Amino acid sequence: MEYEQLKLNNQLCFRLYTAARLTVGAYHPYLDPLGITYPQYLVLLVLWEQDKQPVCDIAKWLMLDTNTVTPLLQRMEKSGLLQRTKGKTDTRQRIVSLTEKGSALREQAKHIPECLSASKD
Amino acid sequence: MEYEQLKLNNQLCFRLYTAARLTVGAYHPYLDPLGITYPQYLVLLVLWEQDKQPVCDIAKWLMLDTNTVTPLLQRMEKSGLLQRTKGKTDTRQRIVSLTEKGSALREQAKHIPECLSASKD
DNA sequence: TATTTTTGCATCGTGAACGATATAAACCAG
DNA sequence: CTGGTTTATATCGTTCACGATGCAAAAATA
């Protein structure tokens, strides 16, 4: 009884942590064919809504730090989804813009949300 | 309107993913002094409830696979929190048991849940 | 203008997650 | 008992998440 609050399933955080992992996992069947990971999908969501943003803005949307986002963008650049160009007004910034390939994925991704909300079990 | 469902904040999964990250992050001030990470804390929760379990049982509790749990346990063994001994009835199994150090942490961790539920902002 | 501070991005190291694969022990069907 | 299958664990490679640190450009302040 003294340690009741230390039981695993009494912990909201564990449930949250597990739910998030499993939910992200549920995207796999839809993201694998597109050749992207879930965090990469999130970056695309941001850029599809508004293209040509500096790294810090993308990080703000995703609530991540640049030390997570920078390597993520580098991998996406390597796989041809986006480009990172030096900012003109502020040369410290790197402006991230979608390539043709990155833009085109939007059409294929369009139905993913409803697929997931429809998936039972 | 056509792509409304692709907006970041319309996506439950993103909110879940972010909430989980931030919530895990909220444990840092309490786990850092104990020298453990959040997943390691989860392993301890399991072992504090029931000591001496095979790897697969711990994995089941945490809803993780052994390829995640094994390295986690190896790191915890290296830092002296637990031991992994060969199973006697089934020699494939590795029975995980707490060390003195691992058991002792329970007392220090006892107040973490209420600390977190009390933390504002 | 010169100096300090802040900001934007990058790099490094560590610890997770997880798919794929490997290996040995246990189990099971013939 | 034998051969095929399942089970328990481990290893490897890749991608994240994130603390710490570095650096150069911009902004603020003296």
In DSSP notation, B51-105 reads: -SEEHHHHHHHHT--HHHHHHHHHHHHHTTSEEEEE-SSSTT-EEEEE-HHHHHH
How confident is residue A82, by pLDDT bands cut at 50, 70 and 90?
Answer: very high
The domains of chain B, with CATH numbers, are: 7-118 (1.10.10.10)
Question: Does the pLDDT value for residue B121 go beyond 60?
Answer: no
Q: What is the spatial distance between Cα A43 and Cα A81, in angstroms, rounded to a whole number?
A: 10
- Determine the 3-state secondary structure of B7 from DSSP: coil
Q: What is the spatial distance between Cα A61 and Cα A46, in angstroms, rounded to a whole number?
A: 7
Structure tokens at A22: 């499993």
Average pLDDT score over chain A: 94
Structure tokens at B5: 């469902």
Residue matched to tokens 């972010």: B18
Per-residue pLDDT, averaged over B18-45, amounts to 97
- Tell me whether residue B117 is exposed, middle or buried, using C-beta atoms within 10 angstroms of its C-beta: 0 to 12, 13 to 18, 19 or more: exposed
pLDDT at A104: 98
Give which of A65, A57, A64, A62 is closest to A93, Cα–Cα: A57
Residue B11 backbone phi and psi in degrees, to 5? -100, 115
Alpha carbon of A96: minimum distance to chain B alpha carbons (Å): 17
Cβ-Cβ pairs closer than 8 A, A with B, add up to: 102
Residue matched to tokens 């849940």: B113
**AA identity, residue B22:** L
**AA identity, residue A19:** A
Residues of chain B with pLDDT > 90, as a percent, come to: 84
Nearest to A16 among B19, B113, B114 (CB): B19
The residue lying closest to nucleotide C26, measuring its CA against C1', is B90
Per-residue pLDDT, averaged over B74-100, amounts to 97
Q: What is the spatial distance between Cα A69 and Cα A55, in angstroms, rounded to a whole number?
A: 7
Distance A66 CA to C12 C1' (A): 14
41-100 of A, contacting B, C-beta below 8 A: 42, 45-46, 48-49, 61-63
Q: What is the pLDDT of residues A84-114, one digit of tens each?
A: 999 999 999 999 999 999 999 999 999 999 8
